[in-house]
Chain A
Amino acid sequence: MTEIKDLNRFWNAYKESRLGLIGLVILLFFVTLAVFAPYIAPYDPHEMFKPMEHPGSDHLLGTNDIGQDILSELIYGARVSLFIAFFVSVVSGIIGTAFGLLSGYFEMFGFFLMRIVDAFLAIPRLPLIIVIAAFMRPSIWNLIFIFIILGWPITTRIIRSEVLSLRTRNYVEAARMVGAPDTYILMKHILPNVFPLLVVRLIIEASHVIIAESSLSFLGLGDPTAKSWGMILHYAFVYPTIFISDLWMWWMLPAGLCITFTILSLTFIGYALEELVNPRLRGMTRI
């Protein structure tokens, strides 16, 4: 009941951010592509026609080097990219929050966990991904696994610092006084308050994952049987005449723009949310 009211208030506040709305629209567009890919895509992305067809009536964006319809590839690509992004951000978000709450609430545990987190954060991210990805067989699930492993520490750190500040709030103290069990306090008092922060984090993580996934695929470390945007770019990039012919216009550019716009939408949404979470950014200053 109150949640719903909160949601409404949240939404009303969110609506005021133009960036946020633009971002939402773009994202929804891609989500629709992903969800209804089979109905939207003209062909099965694995079906092979005459290779290197230029854009025409039956292939709006032409075909790739083994005759697969590029448009269909793009549409199905939305599936792969978005699925990975959201799956990873949610799971790593859950893990991160759990650890964050605990480490923020129990000093000892927190101290040790933070050392681990520090270690994780100091390890070079992309190189590590490359090594792991090169050694593990690049399947979507392996990528997801890698990204989760590398994703949770940041969330943990953010959540923890928030919890630390929340713990000192009166109502938490009060709840302690009356001897409420820790789990109850965490769930009832602290979790709801870190939630907005978490949402922002999830969005940002999602965009990171999309970049990481496309980067790996671009380097040829992705899952070549999965039609992700990064993979399309990879095959375009290694194709000999991509730069000297017009191929790039319908083969490289669309895929690249898809990635760019997805990230853009997430960035905008993330920014809009952050404004809500941190009123100072709203441009209201102490007067």
Chain B
Amino acid sequence: MHRITKITGYVAIILVVLSFNFFLPRLMPGDPLSFLTGAPGMDMPIVLDEETRAKLLTYYGLDKPLSQQFYDYMLGILHGDLGWSIYHNAPVSDILIGALKWTLLLVGTSTALYMVLGILLGAISAWNRGGKSDVGLLVSLLSIGSFPPFFLGMLFIILFSVKLNLFPAFGAQTPFMGYSSLLEEASDILYHLFLPATTLVISHIGGVYLLMRNSMLNVIGEDYILTARAKGMAEWYIMRKHAMKNALLPITTMIALRTGFMIGGTILVETVFAYPGVGRLLFDAVTYRDYPLLQGAFLIITLVIIAANFVADMVYVQLDPRLRHD
């Protein structure tokens, strides 16, 4: 029952998001052609005669009535066809995949890191609450967490790229160097990944840490912790085996949601490091009124978020036997 309401909810959300992104852009001034044919502030003006303009509109199916367009679009989605990007002049799905793999790499790596770190540190600091390590961790993590990601990114560029020249300031790969081996390419990708990922990790670790710490403090008061101690278990062991699992329960959902949102949220970091990704793609799609791409990007992002929710539920069930059986 609960499941069903959830799923219907998700479907509803997708529909809302889709129609929102379908209609809002079309209600706003400007259309995809305005960029195609040289919009203000661009370098070369292209003067379109009305006939050509009309032809172009027909070509991109923008002359049909909105209801028709919407119907076609929905139909397309059902057939897994996201349409043709007007600005990029390529299938939306291809473009999305191209950007998504980078975003996933970035988000995936940093999420893995900041979650593990955040959860561990949170647990440790809760376990020694009031102690030096606790206060130290608390203050330092809350502090670094306060840096806006884009500012942090700029600082990193100045420090690591300009002053120390340790890491590249932009891009996801050294452009077109002939990689002698896969490992070389992989390491080159990691090398470019380092700064953006670190930025993300630092700006997200604080939140998870705090969640975990609070949840842990609640658990520490529980009787079963005493039981474990009464059995003579070591503190570190109790924390790991008895406390952390229970402490994770209430926060899995929140963590999953954060991760889902990162997919769209990386845009700042992507902008600072000129890292190709969905966020940037979305931004351009908005600027160029590339309706199909805009819709596609939003669909993907929403799907990822919903997926994250599902994963959260799964994990939750895995962690909590009380839900597993019934």
- Please state if B306 and A122 are interface contacts (CB–CB under 8 Å): yes
- Please state if B214 and A124 are interface contacts (CB–CB under 8 Å): no
Q: Is A109 part of the binding interface, using a Cβ–Cβ cutoff of 8 Å? A: no
- Please state if A243 and B169 are interface contacts (CB–CB under 8 Å): yes
> With a CB–CB cut-off of 8 A, which chain A residues contact B157?
243
Q: Is A256 part of the binding interface, using a Cβ–Cβ cutoff of 8 Å? A: yes
- Please state if B13 and A122 are interface contacts (CB–CB under 8 Å): yes
Tally of chain A residues near chain B (CB < 8 A): 43
- Please state if A135 and B261 are interface contacts (CB–CB under 8 Å): no
Known contacts A264-B142, A267-B142; A219/B9 CB under 8 A: no
Mostly, the B contact residues are helix
Q: Which of B31-39, B66-74, B144-152 contacts A (4 or more CB under 8 A)?
A: B144-152
- Please state if A260 and B158 are interface contacts (CB–CB under 8 Å): no
Known contacts A218-B268, A243-B169; A127/B146 CB under 8 A: no
Instruction: Report the minimal beta-carbon distance from B6 to chain A, rounded to whole angstroms.
Output: 9
Q: Which of A82-90, A170-178, A276-284 contacts B (4 or more CB under 8 A)?
A: A276-284
Q: Is B167 part of the binding interface, using a Cβ–Cβ cutoff of 8 Å? A: no
Instruction: Report the minimal beta-carbon distance from B235 to chain A, rounded to whole angstroms.
Output: 14
Q: Is B143 part of the binding interface, using a Cβ–Cβ cutoff of 8 Å? A: yes
Name A233's closest neighbour in chain B (CB-CB).
B151
Q: Is A271 part of the binding interface, using a Cβ–Cβ cutoff of 8 Å? A: yes
Q: Is B86 part of the binding interface, using a Cβ–Cβ cutoff of 8 Å? A: no
Tally of chain B residues near chain A (CB < 8 A): 60
- Please state if B261 and A286 are interface contacts (CB–CB under 8 Å): no
- Please state if B148 and A121 are interface contacts (CB–CB under 8 Å): no
Q: Which of B135-190 contact A (CB under 8 A)?
A: 138-139, 142-143, 145-151, 154-155, 157-158, 161-162, 169
Give the docked Cα–Cα distance between A283 and B149 (Å): 31
Q: Is B80 part of the binding interface, using a Cβ–Cβ cutoff of 8 Å? A: no
Name A234's closest neighbour in chain B (CB-CB).
B150
Known contacts A119-B16, A260-B151; A286/B221 CB under 8 A: yes
Instruction: Report the minimal beta-carbon distance from B315 to chain A, rounded to whole angstroms.
Output: 17
> With a CB–CB cut-off of 8 A, which chain A residues contact B122?
none
Contacting A119 at CB < 8 Å: which of B13, B218, B297, B301? B13
Q: Is B257 part of the binding interface, using a Cβ–Cβ cutoff of 8 Å? A: yes
Q: Which of A141-167 contact B (CB under 8 A)?
A: none
Q: Is B220 part of the binding interface, using a Cβ–Cβ cutoff of 8 Å? A: yes
Q: Is B298 part of the binding interface, using a Cβ–Cβ cutoff of 8 Å? A: yes
Q: Is B17 part of the binding interface, using a Cβ–Cβ cutoff of 8 Å? A: yes
Q: Is A226 part of the binding interface, using a Cβ–Cβ cutoff of 8 Å? A: no
- Please state if B279 and A127 are interface contacts (CB–CB under 8 Å): yes
Instruction: Report the minimal beta-carbon distance from A18 to chain B, rounded to whole angstroms.
Output: 9
Q: Which of B78-93 contact A (CB under 8 A)?
A: none
Instruction: Report the minimal beta-carbon distance from B20 to chain A, rounded to whole angstroms.
Output: 8
Contacting A248 at CB < 8 Å: which of B154, B220, B297, B309? B154
> With a CB–CB cut-off of 8 A, which chain A residues contact B267?
126-127, 130, 219
> With a CB–CB cut-off of 8 A, which chain B residues contact A233?
150-151, 154
> With a CB–CB cut-off of 8 A, which chain B residues contact A115?
9, 12
Give the docked Cα–Cα distance between A211 and B147 (Å): 9
> With a CB–CB cut-off of 8 A, which chain A residues contact B139?
19
Instruction: Report the minimal beta-carbon distance from B111 to chain A, rounded to whole angstroms.
Output: 16
Q: Is B323 part of the binding interface, using a Cβ–Cβ cutoff of 8 Å? A: no
CB-defined A-B contacts under 8 Å, sample of 18? A115-B12, A118-B9, A123-B16, A124-B264, A124-B265, A125-B261, A130-B267, A131-B286, A214-B150, A218-B271, A243-B158, A243-B169, A252-B151, A256-B151, A259-B148, A267-B146, A278-B214, A280-B218
| 5 smallest beta-carbon distances between A and B, as pairs | A256-B151, A127-B264, A264-B146, A124-B264, A263-B146
What residues make up the interface of A, taking CB atoms closer than 8 Å to B?
A: 19, 115, 118-119, 121-127, 130-132, 134-135, 211, 214-215, 218-219, 233, 237, 243-244, 248, 252, 256, 259-261, 263-264, 267-268, 271, 274, 278, 280-281, 283, 285-286
What residues make up the interface of B, taking CB atoms closer than 8 Å to A?
A: 9-10, 12-13, 16-17, 21, 24-25, 28, 129-130, 138-139, 142-143, 145-151, 154-155, 157-158, 161-162, 169, 206, 210, 214, 217-218, 220-221, 257, 260-261, 263-265, 267-268, 271-272, 279, 282-283, 286-287, 294, 297-298, 301-302, 305-306, 309
